[in-house]
Amino acid sequence: MTDASPTDTAPAYAGPRRILSGIQASGALHLGNYLGALKRFTQLQDSGAPCFLFVADLHAITVWQDPALLTAQTREIAAAYLASGLDPAKSVIFPQSAVRAHSELAWIFNCVARLGWLDRMTQFKEKSGKHKERSSVGLYTYPVLQAADILLYKATEVPTGEDQKQHLELTRDIAAKFNNDFGVPGFFPLPDPLTQGPAPRVMSLRDGAAKMSKSDPSDQSRINLTDDADSIVAKVRKAKTDPEPLPETIEGLDARPEAKNLVTIYAALADMTREQVLAQYGGQGFGAFKPALAELAVASMAPVTAEMRRLMADAAEIDRVLKDGAERAAEIADPVVDEVKKIVGFWRA
């Protein structure tokens, strides 16, 4: 086998399992973030491996962020982690920028990653749009910083959405090239994305073809993690639907994006499959289904949104969690970046 790539023959990483993920600090959180990320993190918290969960503020500034808002959004994401059930005694919750090693390792990885690899990144193409030359350089090297986030903790599992799979592949490529170029087989793990599990794509309540998004100008399009019970009920009641009753089978949802979205949300909130939801509600109209969904959404989201509002009124409590998290994160990250610097050959006394 002369054409075997170095990763085929290199010894596998032998360190412990570690789970890591981040949420970008650039806007209010909504039901899509809750069902797609936060709820899964709480399930992973007790899986036996330590969890590192951070607020990606370094990533946020790849596009312009108002400084005062950035601080507030960082606290809001920390509040959402806590309100969703993450326990700061078990999971390490911290702001990315508070652990200097992220930026340090990202620079070194900028010199490992190849331009051709980054040229393939579809998220940059989407985010930079028609005016690539006006994007920040940071937006271009965004996935390299993401690789640093992950490998700094030698994370082995990364729960993310499907849209992050390409960035995970890049992370593996960077890890393999570093291990190979510097002759340190197995130094960095090749982390696995965790995209399976209950991570539904939650769509806008006004348009079943668009993702639920903080940037949608209509607040009616999303359920925010700070909405109270009355607004949740009102938003579900006004959600766009069609005049047909719910189908009996999943295939019956195919050409009905709005119906499909509401059934998906119900299933995710109730920890049911969509088949089970249709077995219960197939044949019934939205006049019956919407009130049931509103009740379920309030029952499952109200404790989270109430805790979110309580925490956001107590910045001191959030700041204590973030400071403690940053210290614990640095205890893992600093020795790794120190070792990397030694491997690279940087001078030290």
Residues contributing to the site for ligand TRP (CB under 6 A)? 20-22, 24, 56, 59, 146, 149-150, 158, 160, 164
Q: Which is nearer to ligand TRP, 22 or 95 (CB)?
A: 22
Triad 281, 284, 285: Cα angle to 5°: 125
Which residue, judged by CB position, is nearest to ligand TRP in the bound state? 22
> Is residue 218 annotated as involved in ligand binding?
no
> Is residue 215 annotated as involved in ligand binding?
yes
Taking the C-alpha atoms of residue 106 and residue 278, their distance in angstroms, rounded to an integer, is: 47
Q: Which is nearer to ligand TRP, 166 or 280 (CB)?
A: 166
DSSP letters, 171-228, are HHHHHHHHHHHTT-TTSS--PEEE--SS---PBPSS-TTSB--TT-S-GGG--BTT--
Q: Which is nearer to ligand TRP, 144 or 233 (CB)?
A: 144
Instruction: Specify whether the CB–CB gap between 219 and 28 falls below 8 A.
Output: no
211 is an active site residue: yes
> Is residue 24 annotated as involved in ligand binding?
yes
Q: Exactly one of 125, 177, 214, 240 is catalytic; name it.
A: 214
Instruction: Specify whether the CB–CB gap between 257 and 212 falls below 8 A.
Output: no
Q: Which is nearer to ligand TRP, 23 or 233 (CB)?
A: 23
Q: Which is nearer to ligand TRP, 97 or 164 (CB)?
A: 164
> Is residue 211 annotated as involved in ligand binding?
yes
DSSP letters, 61-79, are TTS---HHHHHHHHHHHHH
Minimum Å distance from CB 158 to ligand TRP? 5
Minimum Å distance from CB 198 to ligand TRP? 17
> Is residue 25 annotated as involved in ligand binding?
yes
39 is an active site residue: no
Q: Exactly one of 125, 165, 211, 260 is catalytic; name it.
A: 211
127 is an active site residue: yes
- Position 55: which residue type? V
Give SS3 for 30: strand
Listed in sequence order, the residues at least 6 apart from 64 whose beta carbon sits closer than 8 Å to its beta carbon are none
> Is residue 342 annotated as involved in ligand binding?
no
Instruction: Specify whether the CB–CB gap between 294 and 237 falls below 8 A.
Output: yes
Give SS3 for 82: helix
Minimum Å distance from CB 159 to ligand TRP? 8
Extract the tokens encoding 170: 């890049």
Minimum Å distance from CB 94 to ligand TRP? 12
Minimum Å distance from CB 143 to ligand TRP? 8
| Binding site, annotated residues | 24-26, 32-33, 149, 161-163, 202, 211-215
* Catalytic site positions: 127, 211, 214
